[in-house]
Structure formats: structure tokens, C-alpha cells
Chain A
Amino acid sequence: MSKYIDLSIEKIHDLLKRKEITPTTLVLECFERIEKSDLNAFITLDKEGALKRARELEAKEVPDDLLFGIPIAIKDNIMVDGLKCTCASKMLDNFTAIYDAGCIDLIKSHDMIILGKTNMDEFAMGSTSETSFYGAPLNPWNRKKVTGGSSGGSASAVSAGLVPLALGSDTGGSVRQPSSFTGIVGMKPTYGRVSRYGLVAFASSLDQIGPMTRNVYENALLLNCISKIDKRDLTSFDTNEDFTRKIGESLQNFKVAIPNYFVSDIIDDEIREKVLNIKTILENNHVQVDFVDIKHIDKAVTLYQIIAMGEASSNLARFDGVRYGYSYPNPTSLDDLYMKTRRFGFGNEVKRRIMVGSYLLSGENAKIYYNKALQIRDDLQKSFKKVFDKYNLIIGPTTARCAYDLGVKGDDPIKSFMDDILVMHANMGGFPSLSMPIGFNKEHLPIGLQIIGNLCDEATIYQLASFIEKEIKDDFSEVRDD
């Protein structure tokens, strides 16, 4: 079997240019793997549409666009016209998108080929992808382990080489944590960098779509493609830069901060060791690395729970059985329609978060919790910005633990959030943050390094990430070899 799809995007592009392969070759290769795969990475596949598109592209001259003809998978909370958009929920099991999300417009204008929609936690709520109505996707490194979440399907698919690129969404770590668990590169861009138009909202002030890829360069390439101001999202901002431009630049006078909290005893020893190893590598290359204290850094989970659940309780109110999606049949009254539709349409984790969120916004609670959380969130952003006054970047682990067994989380609502204690700050402050693989633990499960940058400074993150990537000798592509 051919393995063109495992080649770098530059090499694939070269082959396309020289007409040694066609987009159809790539699509067929991906589907061959997907159809053989047991990973449950996809909810919806569009083989027919993808092949049709591939054939259309063959009529075109191959342009100087590295992404031309490259297959991609899309998380199932992003609208792709004509494809189902289920959010991994029974509520939207029968729901077909009637428009393209902002980032999908861009993906299509670059002539990339959408293969299908990937599995995820229901409405992106969870950190293992186990809350999916369609069952959890599996971690290709060990099928007994979780992929992480909520973008677990995208992580699983890219990691296993079913598709070279994918999109995820990150509200409190949902791109970076599964990327870390599956040994791929995942970026949550600056809030507003990628249009949220067509992303089913979880927590509007935190949600951000991000690229999930096999390596750093391709990640920056994909971000180039999907970031553009979109008048349909008032929080999107003007962006016109090449995120690959600093890759390969020297790290002279570079300063990196490691928050003490990120290497405290809440972190697994093996992970801490790998991160400290990165510190050594950087220092050997004349990068100054300091430990720093950051005010409010331990408050992120609490803030996240209040803000994300408050917003979610309101965002998910529209799923009521009146206009679209699941609707409880033969209700006895309007209230019965509302209650039964939501009782049977939503899973437990979603219902729990809606309940908590509704409570947090009720009566005086809004002032006590939500408004207060917004204040502390501002303070937290300021304290991170202060670090960026002195340091180019902040680094640390992406997660406190590596991927763990499926099912262990069960229904424990508190444990779910502990996975994301290191990644939520970036969402709170709107900062860009990337996770990249830097090694394995004893169980041969990938370990992720997190790099957080100042607002709009993705290019510097990619610069450092690319440098580290070259220094790491481990091979994260072995699971692609099916």
C-alpha cells in the first residue's frame, strides 16, 4: 500500500505539482485507512463528496498553495454545508448544516478536501471524548486509553495518520489536551484569530477553533489558511500574517518563563522531568529560562467552571425541540416538550453543566460568581501579560498526566476539569497556546509541552516549537504505520 499521505505536505505538494499523484490518490489512501480503522475517530464520512471534489481539482492547474488538494477532517461542532453536524449529541443526531462556517469557507477556498466530521465530547463538554453519543474515539497509542477531549476524534485521526490535518475547537484545552495525549501538534490561537461563525457555541468568550497537525510547520500553515477577519463574528479581528515566518530564526536573546505552578507536585514526575529536560536543551542553546510566580494561576479551573458553564447554559438553551434537532414526540404540553426534549436529547455531562451554569447565573449568584469571575479573569490576563513584558514565551506541560484508561473518569464531574488545569489560562486570557509532543512516559504514551505566547504572538510560539521539534529525537509517527 502506498503511503503518500504520510509524507510531509511539502513533499505531497511536490508530487501533486509533478503530477505523480493526484488529490484522488490522497483521498483514496485516507479512506482506505479510515475504513480499516477501529478508532471511532469519525462521526460522519463524506467519501462521495471528497472524491467528487478531488476529481474536480484534477482539472485544475496545481497552484503554489501547499494546502491544495490536501485532505482534512473537521470536528463535528463546525458547520460544513450539507454534512451532518451532530456535536456528538443525540440532540443533533439528525441535524444537517445548511451553511459553511467561516473557517470552512477558507478551507474550501484553498481547495482542501474535507473527508468528514470527527468524534468529540458531546457539545465539546469533556476532556476524554467519552461523553460522545457515538461512543469514545480510541487513542492509537493504546486503544485502552482515552484520546483526551473534547477534540478527541480529530486528535485520534491525525495521530493515526488517517488524515494529515484536522480542525478542533478549544474552550478550556480541547485542542491541546487531546493533542498532548496523542502525540500531535495542536494550537489554540489568540481569541478572535479564527472566526467562530459556524462553530456551535459552548462558551462564547472562550471558544476558539484551532489546527491539529502532525508537525509544527504544517500547523502554522493551516493557521495561515483559517485565520482571517470575518464580519459575521464581531469578536474576530484583522489578521494578515504568515505564521511560519519566524520558523528557523535564531533564538538569540530569547527568554522563556516556566511558572512554578506548572512544575509543582500536581504534575506527574515523568512529565515534569521531560519539561525540565526541555529547559536544559534551551539553556544549552543560550536561551534564558526562569521560574516565575503568576498571580491567580491556580484559579483557572474555578474561573473556567463559572464562565464556561454560565455561558453554556445560555448557549444551549436554543436546543428545545421547536425548530431543529431532536424533538420529543407527542408532548402533552409546551413544558413537556421542553423538558423531555432536553432530558432525552442531552447526555449527563451536558445536563450537569447546564444545571450548574443556570445556578451560577441565578438571581444574586450572577453578581457573586459570574461578575466576580470576569474581574479575576481580567486580573489573570494582566498577570500573564506582565510575564510577557519580560519573557518571549511561557512554557510548561500541557497536562498533569498522560492519557489514562477509558472509563476511569466515569461520571466524576470534578476529575474532568483537573485534566485541564494547565491549559485553561490561555482561554481565560485569550492567549495563543500550543501543545507539541516532547517524549514518552514509561507506558510509551506521548507527553506534551505547552507553549503560551502573548496575544497575537503565534509566530513566536511556532519559532520556539519548531526549534524544540528538531531537538527531540523521539518518533511520533510510528502509530501511523497500520
Chain B
Amino acid sequence: MTNYKKTIGIEVHCELKTKEKIFSPSQSIYGSMANTCTNIIDLGYPGSLPLLNNEVLRFAIKACKVLNLHITRDMHFDRKNYFYPDNPKNFQITQNETPIGRDGYVIINDDGEEKKIEILEMHIEEDTCKSVHSAKNSLLDFNRAGVPLIEIVTKPCIHSAKEATLYLEKLRELLLYAGVSDCKIEEGSMRCEPNVSISKTDKLGTKIEVKNIGSISHVGEAITYEAKRQEEILERGETLHEETRRFDDKSHTTILMRVKETGNDYRYFPEPDIPYVHLTEEFITDSLKDLPRMPDERRKDYQKGGILPINMEKIIANKEISDYLERFLDINLVVASNLLLGDISSYLNKKDIKLSDTKLTDSKFRDLVNKLDKKEISNKNFKDILVDIMETDKSIDELIKENGFNNLDDSVVDDIIAKVLDSNPDFVHQYKSGNERVLKALMGLVMKESKGKVNPSLANDKLKEKLDA
């Protein structure tokens, strides 16, 4: 019945994970004890002046690049003036007139259909401090004050909750891979604020903004709920007013925070304490030089390498694994990814450590994958030596030797094969009748008989030779 069209724009704030804050040399560490990462600049102390952290510019340039934004070469900062206790100077240093990035887009994949989500602009600003309210009083933690943020604003070009969540997932993936933000919504390092309007005509309806959403799926829920709520109001013949609502994750509804008053007056003017910034080509090129490959490029290689889509997404979702795999694109990706997603991941999870904490060197990993690929070592044998691979400096060859894998004489192998064939005439008969699948079963028996010590590749060849003779 609904013939209302939803129109959605989304503002996203992301904390940049620079070592220091944007305008002060304070450390920027999430989870530190309250008010330990602060100094006179963060506290808005009289006489203090902002500095400008170049790393923030570099990170923002990277973000511009992966979001296909045009970089503003000549830019400055502006003061946004408003009183609130979480705003220590009672103005926020932001970019109003000259956002660092303009007119970009990201491509989302909506069930196989590619869509372009247009980004109006991206600017740099400082975060406010965190307020904790109790019945008796309010407490302020200035650790967050001055943490660098980028704010990314889309055009009103999103028309469904699904598109919105796909956009946010994509955005999160890109910024994460660009290495500029942790994008952890639960820790507040990524904050998504959609605005939703519905209309039956081409003219946009009344914009309602939703804040305080704790996950990407909740953004979808909030949009769906909000569109339905607005439709019910309009269908009752009532009118909507611009307002800001918040998402309530208990009731899965939106709740009114405040009605927008006409013309919020932030008295913007250029920040006089920070000279205008000119981004040179050299600086931009230099900032981008360590930008890693983005997920879509990686997906193409994974696909080419034969990795199944489901595993492909598992790898992309685990940036550490994907980054690791970047060094091994020339070997068997199926074997490599199965190893990483399977046995190696379980090992790491059990130990609660990272790949970089183990003794698995690049050459060892490469050797291991090649040996598994060429069946020079069986999966079972690999499992037996996994812990040694991860925890000792021994090479794969050394471990194979030490464990007595693959060291049986040819005559012994021949004996084992003969024994297996003798005791399984049915399989032999089936094979001769054209059922080649029993080869696998026979191989398994050979491996079992040899207690895994026979070289699987060699045994396979010999077995076939015997059967085909």
C-alpha cells in the first residue's frame, strides 16, 4: 500500500587512530583512566593555543582517496561556537567552509547490483569530551577531547534501510583497510547518524535525524521504524516537524530528543590560531604511499585464486588475515586461506595471540602451503606438527624429518600397498570397473597402514601404478 519514497542521508563520525590528538600532543588512547590523556590545550585553558597534527592530515587524505573524494588543496579550520560542558573552549575547531574532501562516492553491492552512494563532503574536526551523568552530578572525561574525527556526509541518495546498512558496512571496511580508524561503533570510534524523510512526490519530506545508534544493523532498524512512524503520522493527516530523535535499543524505536529550532546559529568564522593549510602534491603523494590495497581489489585476487565467496568474506572480515595473505598471492590461495581460516585461526584463538606473536615466518608459511599443495605432507601430519611450526624456529623440512614423516623406503611402501590391495579385493574390483573414486578410500587405508609416515604424493602415484598395471 505504501507509495511513500524513503530518502536517507547519513552523517558518520569516525575517530582517526593517530598517536596524538589533533590540536595537542596528548596521547590519544581509548580506555585510559579518565583525564590522564589531557593537557592545557584539551582543557581549553586560558592562553593555550592549538597545534596541528600532520598525521591527522595524512590520515584524512587517505580517507579521501578511498572514498573517491576530491582533495581540497587550500583549506582552513573554522570555529563552531556553542556552549556545552563537553566542549571545553565552548567552540569546536572544525571545517565549515573548506572541507578537506568533496564530491566522492562508494560503490555498494546490493544483491549483485552495484549502486553508487554519493558523498557530499568529508571534513576534519576535534572530538568533544565525554560526559557521564548521574543523579547527583555530571562528570567530564577530557581524554576524548581533541581526538581527531572525520565527518562523512552523504547526499540524500539512499532509499532503503538495506542500502544504508550496505553503505555503512562498506564505509567501515574502507576506513578500516585504509588504516585510519578502528571503526568500532561500540567504543564510539564510529558514530552513524541517519536522517530520514518520506515523500510521495519528488519534493523531499521533513527530515528527521536519529542519533545514538549502537550498531550498523540498528541503523537499518531505526530507518525502517522511522519511515513507518512518519508514514503513520502523515496518513493520520498530521504534519511532521524537523527534529532529532534517538534510537532506543531496548524497545527498538526512536524517541524524541529535541525539536530543531530554526537556523542553529554556530557563528562560524575562520580559526585565527591555525594558519591556512596548503596541501602540496608531494605531501598528498607521500601520505598515500603506504595506503594498502582495498578489499574489492583483494576480492578479485581471492576469486581468481579459487577461494569460495563465503571464505572470501571471512578473510576480508579479518583484516589481519587478509593483510597477511597479501604477501602470498603467488601461492595456492585455497590452501593458504584454508590454513589461515582453519587450523591457524583456531590455534591463535585458543592461545589468544596474534599471527605476529608466533614463530611462523613468511618462508615457513610459504613452504608449508606448497608442501600441502603438492601433497608432500598430509593434513594429518601437518596437524601433528602445527604447534611446533608456530612455537619453534625449526623449518618444515626439519620437522618432517624429526617426526619421521615421508622417510619409508620404497620397498616398504610397496609392501604396504600390496597388503592393502590384497585385503580389499572389493575396492580393487570397483576401481577396475571404472569407479575411480575408491582410489581415495584406498589411499586412506594406505596412509592408515603406514601410520601417516608415507609421503602421500608418492603413495598415490604408486597406488595408481599398481591398480592400472
Contacts and interface: CB of A to CB of B under 8 A. Distances in A.
Nearest to B266: A361
Contacts of B52: 234
B43 A310 contact: no
Interface string A365-403: 010001000100000000000000000000000000000
Interface in B59-100: 79, 81, 83, 85, 88-91
Interface string B285-328: 00000000000000000000000000000000000000000000
B255 interface: no
Contacts of A196: 49
A197 B50 CA distance: 10
A85 B85 CA distance: 23
Interface string B165-182: 000000000000000000
Contact of B265 (A310, A311, A323, A363): A363
B50 A99 contact: no
Contacts, number: 92
Contacts of A310: 269
Contacts of B43: 323
A198 B275 CA distance: 18
A314 B47 contact: no
A318 B88 contact: yes
Interface string A193-235: 0001111110111000000000000000000000000011111
A235 B273 contact: yes
A318 B268 contact: no
B265 A338 contact: no
B89 A317 contact: yes
Contacts of A98: 40, 45
A171 to B, nearest CB: 12
A339 to B, nearest CB: 10
B51 interface: yes
B263 interface: yes
Given A98-B40, A234-B51, A317-B81, A92 B268 contact: no
A317 B51 contact: no
Interface size range on B against A: 20 to 34
Interface string A64-86: 00000000000000110000010
B91 A317 contact: yes
B439 interface: no
A234 B156 CA distance: 38
B272 interface: yes
A196 B49 CA distance: 8
A309 to B, nearest CB: 11
Interface residues of A, number: 44
A309 B49 CA distance: 19
A232 B90 contact: no
Contacts of B265: 362-363
Main secondary structure of the interface of B (DSSP, over half): loop
B47 A197 contact: yes
A79 B272 contact: no
A358 interface: yes
Contact of A323 (B44, B269, B274, B275): B44
A204 B77 CA distance: 14
Interface in B221-279: 263, 265, 267-270, 272-275
Contact of B90 (A92, A204, A320): A320
A198 B47 contact: yes
B275 A234 contact: yes
Given A85-B46, A233-B49, A323-B43, A318 B267 contact: no
A281 interface: no
Interface string B131-150: 00000000010000000000
A363 B91 CA distance: 16
Contacts of B40: 98-99
Contacts of B263: 363
Contacts of A338: 83
B272 A358 contact: no
A318 B44 contact: yes
A366 B80 CA distance: 12
A204 B50 CA distance: 12
Contact of A320 (B51, B83, B268): B83
A318 B82 CA distance: 10
B384 to A, nearest CB: 59
A204 B48 CA distance: 11
A195 to B, nearest CB: 9
A311 B271 CA distance: 9
A344 interface: no
A334 B85 contact: yes
B272 A200 contact: no
A462 B83 CA distance: 45
Given A314-B81, A317-B81, A323-B88, A199 B47 contact: yes
26 contacts: A99-B47, A101-B47, A197-B48, A198-B47, A200-B46, A200-B47, A201-B47, A204-B273, A205-B272, A234-B51, A235-B275, A310-B269, A314-B79, A314-B267, A314-B269, A318-B44, A318-B89, A320-B85, A323-B43, A323-B88, A334-B85, A361-B267, A361-B268, A362-B267, A366-B269, A374-B270
Given A99-B40, A314-B81, 9 more contacts: A101-B47, A198-B48, A201-B47, A201-B49, A234-B274, A235-B275, A318-B89, A323-B44, A363-B263
Interface of A: 78-79, 85, 87, 92, 95, 97-99, 101, 196-201, 203-205, 231-235, 310-311, 313-314, 317-320, 322-324, 334, 338, 358, 361-363, 366, 370, 374
Interface of B: 40, 43-52, 79, 81, 83, 85, 88-91, 140, 263, 265, 267-270, 272-275
Query: Shortest 9 CB-CB distances between A and B: which pairs?
Result: A317-B90, A361-B267, A205-B272, A204-B272, A198-B47, A200-B46, A318-B44, A318-B89, A79-B47
